[in-house]
Amino acid sequence: PSSKQLNKTSKFLSFVLRHKPEAIDLTLDDNGWANIDELISKGNDSGEASNLSRELIQEVVDTSDKKRFIISGDGRSIRANQGHSIQVDLQLKPMTPPELLYHGTATRFLDSILEEGLKPQERQHVHLSTDIETATAVGQRYGKPVILTIKALLMHEQGFQFYLSENSVWLTESIPNIYIDER
Ligand code: HQG
């Protein structure tokens, strides 16, 4: 498959596995898993995906720069590693974060964030990175990027839970402004 087709399929998978399975009449289980055979047949029937096949899905999973998706050990199911807006239980274990984590956003959101803290908005969690480079790329998606430094270890010590997704994105429910510094 061409990189264009891989990209299109990745976007389709993000859409149905993170946000809107019902768009193709698909159901995810409580932990966010979809049956791959069902995903293929319903994706193709709906016209939302073109020429979806097991091989194409496998290649998207293998080549995803951010390792967005994971196939279960028995090969029957697939789920997104993070980024959901629908309620799924990824069964992530709370983990101790490093002292500092970074959040990339756009300058136009800054005033609101410094006032009310970071909120998960449409998603289940606020997404954080261990490095400034990744945070910059994330922030760039919405405009002129700005990096926020989060006092993650202090938050953790004060009772907030942090999780590390399968693809190394740090997640937490929300971040009060006292833990946020403009870098
Ligand atoms: C902002 C991509 C105003 C927040 C990326 C962000 C990431 C506020 C936006 C993943 C706010 C939500 C997630 C407040 C938060 N006032 N704005 N109080 N609190 N915001 O897309 O972190 O390529 O839901 O700063 O790489 O940008 O899809 O979150 O700008 O890992 O795999 O509200 O999505 O991964 O935007 O990105 P998003 P995000 P994928």
Q: Report the atom number in ligand 1 closest to the C-alpha of 126.
A: 22
Please state, as a whole number, how many other Cβ atoms lie within 10 Å of the Cβ of residue 89: 10
Q: Model pTM?
A: 0.92
ipTM of the complex: 0.96
Our answer on whether the CB atom of 89 is closer than 6 Å to any ligand 1 atom is: no
Which of the listed residues 9, 102, 118, 174 should we mutate to test ligand 1's pocket, taking the one with most ligand atoms within 8 A of CB? 118
The CA distance from 111 to 136, in Å, is 18
Our answer on whether the CB atom of 13 is closer than 6 Å to any ligand 1 atom is: no
Instruction: Please tell me the predicted confidence (pLDDT) of residue 183.
Output: 83
Q: Report the atom number in ligand 1 closest to the C-alpha of 18.
A: 28
Q: Report the atom number in ligand 1 closest to the C-alpha of 122.
A: 24
Distance from residue 125's CA to the centre of ligand 1 (Å) = 9
Nearest alpha carbon, ligand 1 atom 6? 105
Please state, as a whole number, how many other Cβ atoms lie within 10 Å of the Cβ of residue 178: 11
- Residue pLDDT, tens place only, 106-126: 999 999 999 999 999 999 999
- Residue pLDDT, tens place only, 124-175: 999 999 999 999 999 999 999 999 999 999 999 999 999 999 999 999 999 9
Nearest alpha carbon, ligand 1 atom 32? 68
Q: Give the chain's mean pLDDT.
A: 96
Our answer on whether the CB atom of 116 is closer than 6 Å to any ligand 1 atom is: yes
